[in-house]
Amino acid sequence: MRKKINIREKKDNPLKKIGKIIELPQEFLEGATHIEIAGNREIIIEGCKGIIDYTEESIKLSAGKYAILIIGKNLEIKNLFDESIIINGFIIKIEYIF
Amino acid sequence: MIFLRLLNLLIGYVVFECNGYFIERFLNITAKRRIGLWGIKRINIATVRAKIKAKEFIQLKEVAKKSNTKIKIIHKRGLPFILHRYRKRKGFFIGVISFFLMLWILSSFVWSIEIKGNIKVNSEQIMQTLKESGILSGKLSILCNINDAKLRLLTNHKELCWVDVAIKGSKVIISVKEGILPPQIIPKDKPCNIVAKKDGQITFIEAYDGIKAVRKGDTVSKGELLISGVIDSTLKSYLLVHSRGIVKARTLTHLKTEISLKKTENIKTGLFYKRYCLQFGNLSVKLYLGDKIKYEQFEKNELINELAIGKDIILPIRFITEVFYETAQTTTEFTQQEGELLCEIAIKEKEKNELIGTLLERKITFKNENNVVICEGEYICEQEIGQEEKIEKNN
């Protein structure tokens, strides 16, 4: 059975409510994964919970509720430290896998 | 980015290979334990190569055990490994440290004093004043009192209007600027007359305080009374005032310049050669063989290069280059016209510096005596000729 994708907004907790009022960036408060892409040469991901797969052609990372799949050539991990990862190389495809 | 690499080299890092089935598990555990890995590359299906800080490498053993992988060291790079390799060679380290220590100690002393910018004041007098305030060659530079030296120089030598004393490493550089002494001003409460500075014919006279003693058109000689500070009054027998006023007169000035038409001088032929020597304080080491100079007639030029770390720390070591230029005697001759032209240029320069007031008439004559062109100029200018002179009470 396919997993149902829940797009309905969940009930906001007090912190989120304050965040919305002061207009703080929502994503950081939710604790979501932050991805920065520079061209197709470098990706910086913060909030990565773990590496699922690592080869030269594809890297699959877990971001809690979903997974991020990066397909490319000569992929290298430039830096890895506790939830932050920088991936270098020739990136062809970036996919979210739910 | 390059700074990070240098930093990593300083701290020391290890390039290692991790071999096993669950490489991803290995990476996840290191990430979770906050062990920083960088430069991760996959070598083959079961191997990954990465770099890690030397200090954190020890923790990998446990991680490898947990993830069922094997660790192999490929390279060990960085300063700590170099030191470890040479830890037995204590003499080398002692040598390096003592070199830097000697450098530091030697440049803490003052070895040479340079004085710049003094024209009228004698360099020796300045050195003497410095000695009094404690700046000598051979003294510790921290013990030298700069402010005391500055004050002493300014008070002892009235001609200096600005003094800077800077200690750069082992050299003390003193820069001075001389100023024009202010004219002797007689204070306002003392009575004085105004007398003539020069001979001349009065063109304008106005007295603000005191009584005029001459009129417009009178001819006066140097020292003659122009405005009197002694006023006859009916109430007292006389009254003394500090006279003030403007007195302008037409004066005659003579200026003269000379140029000789035949000049014999030594000119460089173009040939030269260099000699080098090193100087440590007072000791000098010759870097050449033989003392004889090749040319018959020569001119010597010395280039002193003081070794310094950067711009500020000057060491007591000098590298001297002596250049010897061969010279030959040549005579150059000017024609009368060229001589007159040169004379005129010289006299114009003198006019700029010495003539004061407004120029009314200018007459220049040229003479030729014994192959020397003499240019004489007569100038009539209108200038201020008033000068204060104190009134001395005689009885």
- The ipTM of this complex is 0.77
Residue B51: the pLDDT is 92
- The answer to whether residue B88 sits within a structural domain is no
Residue B106 included in any domain: no
With CA atoms as reference, report the closest residue to B153 among B183, B182, B175. Answer: B175
| Per-residue pLDDT, A70 | 94
Q: Which residues of B touch A82 (CB under 8 A)?
A: 31-34
pLDDT of residue B267: 82
Q: How many CB pairs under 8 A join A and B?
A: 47
Task: Tell me: do B316 and B287 sit in the same domain.
Answer: yes
B35 within domain boundaries: yes
pLDDT surpasses 50 at B395: no
B40, B63, B69: best to mutate for the A interface, most A CBs within 10 A: B40
- Note whether residue B367 is domain-resident: yes
In a domain, B65, yes or no: yes
Q: Taking residues A17-24, what's their average pLDDT?
A: 73
pLDDT in tens, B266-297: 888 888 888 888 888 778 888 887 777 777 88
Bridge partners (DSSP) listed for residue A37:
A43
Closest residue on chain B to A54 (Cα): B24
Note the pLDDT tens digit of each residue in B59-80. Answer: 999 999 999 999 999 989 888 8
Nearest CA of chain A to the CA of B81: how many Å? Answer: 23
Q: What is the predicted pLDDT for the residue at A78?
A: 92
Q: Quick check: A52 contacting B, CB < 8 Å?
A: yes
pLDDT of A51 reads 92
Mean pLDDT lowest among A61-65, B51-55, B155-159: B155-159
pLDDT of res. A69: 94
- Cβ–Cβ contact B131 with A under 8 A: no
B187, pLDDT greater than 80: no
Residues of the domain holding B303: 267-326
The domain of A89 spans: 33-97
C-alpha–C-alpha distance, residues B139 and B316, integer Å: 13
pLDDT over threshold 80, residue A12? no
Give me the mean pLDDT over the B339-346 stretch: 84
Query: Helix B146-156 crosses helix B123-132 at what angle (to 10 degrees)?
Result: 130
pLDDT per position as a tens digit, B251-264 = 888 888 888 877 77
| Segment holding B383, helix H or strand E | strand B372-384
Q: Find the range with the poorest average confidence among A54-58, A91-95, B52-56, B338-342.
A: B338-342
pLDDT at B356 over 70: yes
> For residue A15, is it within any domain?
no
**pLDDT confidence of B25, banded at 50, 70, 90?**
very high
Q: Given this model, what pLDDT does residue A28 score? A: 65
Measured between beta carbons, which residues in chain A are less than 8 angstroms from residue B18?
none
How close is the nearest chain A Cα to the Cα of B31, in Å? Answer: 4
- How many residues can be counted in chain A? 98
- Domain end point (choices B68, B83, B98): B83
Indicate whether B83 pLDDT > 50.
Answer: yes
Q: For chain A, how many structural domains are there in total?
A: 1
Q: Is the pLDDT of residue A58 over 90?
A: yes
Surface of B (19-48) touching A: CB under 8 A: 23-24, 27-28, 30-34, 36-42, 45, 48
In a domain, B91, yes or no: no
A43, A86 contact by CB (below 8 A): yes
How confident is residue A10, by pLDDT bands cut at 50, 70 and 90? low
Contact by Cβ (8 Å): B316, B170: yes
Check whether residue B64 and residue B10 sit in a common domain.
yes
In this structure, are B322 and B349 located in the same domain? no
* Whether pLDDT at A74 is above 90: yes
**Residue contact A78–B42, C-beta within 8 A:** no
Which token pair is B8? 């990593």
Residue B303 CB contacts under 8 Å (≥ 6 apart), including other chains? B320, B321, B322, B323
Same domain, B11 and B79: yes
Residue of B34, B38, B48 with shortest CB distance to A79: B38
The arithmetic mean of pLDDT across residues B351-373, rounded, is 83
Residue B215 has pLDDT above 70, yes or no: yes
Q: Which pLDDT score, from 0 to 100, does residue A64 have?
A: 84
User: What average pLDDT is seen over chain B?
Assistant: 84
Highest-pLDDT range among A26-30, B236-240, B265-269: B265-269
Nearest to A80 among B40, B42, B45 (CB): B40
| B70 to chain A, closest Cα gap in Å | 18
Whether A13 is in a domain gets the answer no
Query: In this structure, what CATH number is given to the domain that contains residue B158?
Result: 3.10.20.310
- Taking contacts as CB-CB distances below 8 angstroms, the residues of chain B near A63 are none
Planar angle of CA B363, B367, B370, nearest 5 degrees: 160
Q: Which chain A residues contact residue B30 at CB under 8 A?
A: 80
Q: Could you tell me the CATH number of the domain that includes residue A70?
A: 2.60.40.2000
pTM of the model: 0.47
Q: How many CA atoms lie within 13 A of B155 on its CB side?
A: 9
* A12 within a domain of the structure (yes/no): no
- Give a yes or no: residue B350 inside a domain: yes
Least confident piece of the model among A11-25, B21-35, B145-159: A11-25
| Tally of domains within chain B | 5
pLDDT of residue B1: 63
Task: Identify whether A63 is part of a domain.
Answer: yes
pLDDT tens per residue, range B98-108: 999 988 888 78
For range B357-373, the mean pLDDT: 83
Residue A52 to residue B24, Cβ atoms within 8 A: yes
Partner-chain residue, chosen from B27, B41, B42, that has the shortest CB–CB distance to A80: B27
**Inter-chain contact A78–B40, Cβ cutoff 8 Å?**
yes
B-facing residues of A in 55-94 (CB < 8 A) are 55-56, 76-83, 85
Kindly state whether residues B301 and B351 are assigned to the same domain.
Answer: no
Same domain, B317 and B360: no
Nearest to B37 among A52, A55, A80 (CB): A80
Percent of chain A exceeding pLDDT 90 equals 52
Å between A31 CA and nearest CA of chain B:
17
CA–CA gap between residue B391 and residue B191 (Å, rounded):
6
pLDDT in the model for residue A7 = 57
